[in-house]
Copies of this chain bind each other. A is one copy, B any other.
Amino acid sequence: MRTSQYLLSTLKETPADAEVKSHQLMMRAGMVRKIAAGLYTWLPTGLRTLRKVEAIVRQEMEKAGAVEVSMPVVQPAELWQESGRWEAYGPELCRFKDRGNRDFVLGPTHEEVITALVRGEVSSYKQLPLNLFQIQTKFRDEVRPRFGVMRGREFLMKDAYSFHLDKASLEDTYQKMHQAYCNTFSRMGLDFRPVVADTGSIGGSASHEFQVLADSGEDLIAVSTGSDFAANVEMAEAMAPSAERAAPGAELALLDTPNAKTIDDLVSQFGIAIDKTVKTLIVKGASEEAPLVALLVRGDHELNEIKAEKLPQVASPFAFADEAAIRAAIGAGPGSLGPVGLKLPVIVDRSVAVMSDFAAGANVDGKHHTNVNWDRDAQFAAVADIRNVVAGDPSPCGQGTIELKRGIEVGHIFQLGTKYSEAMKATVLSEQGKATVMEMGCYGIGVSRVVAAAIEQNHDDKGIIWPDAIAPFQVVIIPMNMHKSHRVQDAAEQLYQELQAAGIEVLFDDRKERPGVMFADMELIGIPHSIIIGERGLDTNEVEYKSRRSGDKDNLPLDQVVASLKAKLQA
């Protein structure tokens, strides 16, 4: 491609409404343009990368045995009424009427359509397992579209849905898809982690998110320093400390703490080590006999509400008790609570169970205990993992310790079970001739989001640094002052032909621009490999090679450029 016949559309200024780096760079590099909130046109440079991401996703899906279909964007309301989501789905579901006054939606996802399709096409266990995917436009009417294509309203998604006679088959396909996702993001050259995720409202038994690591990511992930273990911070198990509980070292003491409402106050005003303090949190209980339950975590830890909600003693949905209820039950406010003499079920975190000589509220306003010791001064009803992991915790995988990283979710796989197949009566006949509700899995990749996530992970002050596999062009030819030098022009033209003939995707910057403008544009766009052709080098039949990622420069004989680039691209 020649820039003179292309729509380069780079910008010098960063648009004011672009908050995150990927949005800024996608605008400046001429990848996208906004036409309304959350709606973007993909310009040629952006589309080239989008299509590469799409092609890799398609190839890996096919390798994993998934078969491609394409479902409409516009879906009839009847299907959503059948699944129950016509009512349950919030205003992100864009509903409208056609000219005949019939209700339709713009598909934010396609469980209903695919389940209705497979219900109609598949009747026997012999046709299973079946794994169907599509790469297609979706619409979600986000309340606050932001971060460019990272959270747009119209976006490109790969969604796959698998159908099975039983759970074992679902688990088998789930593993294959997990591997396919790893292959997909590896091929794109991205640093990512598959992380154990909460199955949330979708239910089902297993779920993984695929997170591209980037400092700007919205999600917090716990990874192991000693293995490839990774989990959403909410999902990572906080292990019991290996140390046993020490014997009591001092007598229980009562301390006047009129100005200590928080753990930090206690630490700063009385010089108590924070890992010798305990927070006592009162939450609603699951039973009438115990309408309130005390949850204790160490002063430097945070309660994990998802873990807490799974305890049999704790109400679901999870809720903190309000101050009035706490005062009525205990006689003190939330800033002065502790286990000594507490008449509620006490559930302690694993870290708290091994503490000794610790400080906690005395259940009297303005007073704390120090040197509290279990058994001697207070009792707990149960020990459980109820906190978020922190950096340095032992990894639940048994190897290494926990590190916290930030990530951008680009994929999510679920073992759905029978949620949709049950509601929509999608059954097959088993080998025994019995109508059996199919087990389902679903597997998504945010194709357009991958592009933004890749930029968040791969950029510097000058612009984007594309991995080879998803770069809009692999190579750019930058001729210096070509319009004043026939020699430069001839060499550039010839190299352009040769690179194209070698199947290399090359951009030829044939604009009448100063070299500085061309360098800046190409670094902004992030083309991995540059060949710079100038008069001086041609004196010795040489051109300059420059790597966008390393910044390394090298002189190359003209007749070795193609071979050298081929080698770099295969590496």
Contacts and interface: CB of A to CB of B under 8 A. Distances in A.
A103 to B, nearest CB: 10
A41 B72 contact: yes
A47 B68 contact: yes
A483 to B, nearest CB: 13
Interface stretch (A113-121, A327-335, A394-402, A523-531): A113-121
A280 to B, nearest CB: 42
Given A33-B120, A35-B113, A70 B50 contact: yes
Interface string A41-77: 1111001001000000000000001011111111110
A135 to B, nearest CB: 11
Contacts of A311: none
A143 B75 CA distance: 17
A106 interface: yes
Nearest to A155: B72
B41 A106 contact: no
A202 B130 CA distance: 47
Interface in A54-112: 65, 67-76, 78-79, 91-92, 94, 96-99, 102, 104, 106
Contact of A35 (B75, B97, B122, B139): B75
A69 B35 contact: no
A41 B117 contact: yes
A75 B139 CA distance: 12
A68 B472 CA distance: 12
Nearest to A511: B126
A420 to B, nearest CB: 15
A275 interface: no
A141 interface: yes
B72 A47 contact: no
Contacts of A1: 67
A234 B44 CA distance: 39
A9 interface: yes
A154 B69 contact: no
Contacts of A33: 117, 120-121
B39 A68 contact: no
A7 interface: yes
Contacts of A44: 67-69, 132
Contact of A137 (B67, B73, B78, B117): B73
A40 interface: yes
As for how many copies of this chain the complex holds, the number is: 2
A72 B154 contact: yes
Most chain B CB atoms below 10 A, which of A36, A40, A116? A36
A99 B97 CA distance: 14
A76 B141 contact: no
A178 to B, nearest CB: 19
Interface in A110-165: 113, 116-117, 120-122, 130, 132, 137, 139, 141, 143, 153-154
Contacts of A132: 7, 44
A7 B121 contact: yes
A270 interface: no
A140 to B, nearest CB: 10
Contacts of A6: 67
Most chain B CB atoms below 10 A, which of A5, A6, A91, A120? A5
Given A7-B130, A9-B121, A116-B35, A70 B99 contact: no
A291 to B, nearest CB: 39
Contacts of A91: 99
Nearest to A152: B72
Contacts of A92: 99
B67 A35 contact: no
Contacts of A113: 35, 41
Contact of A74 (B42, B106, B120): B106
Contacts of A97: 96
B67 A41 contact: no
A472 to B, nearest CB: 12
B72 A35 contact: yes
A47 B117 CA distance: 15
Contacts of A47: 68-70
A120 B35 CA distance: 11
Nearest to A9: B121
Nearest to A154: B72
A132 B41 CA distance: 12
Interface string A214-247: 0000000000000000000000000000000000
- 10 closest A-B pairs (Cβ-Cβ)? A96-B96, A36-B76, A42-B70, A91-B99, A39-B72, A41-B71, A99-B141, A72-B154, A44-B67, A9-B121
23 contacts: A5-B67, A7-B69, A33-B120, A35-B113, A35-B117, A36-B104, A39-B75, A40-B72, A41-B70, A41-B72, A42-B69, A44-B68, A44-B69, A50-B70, A72-B154, A73-B73, A73-B137, A74-B154, A94-B98, A94-B99, A98-B153, A99-B141, A99-B143
Given A33-B120, A41-B69, A44-B132, 8 more contacts: A1-B67, A5-B67, A7-B122, A7-B132, A33-B117, A35-B72, A35-B79, A99-B141
Interface of A: 1, 5-7, 9, 33, 35-36, 39-44, 47, 50, 65, 67-76, 78-79, 91-92, 94, 96-99, 102, 104, 106, 113, 116-117, 120-122, 130, 132, 137, 139, 141, 143, 153-154
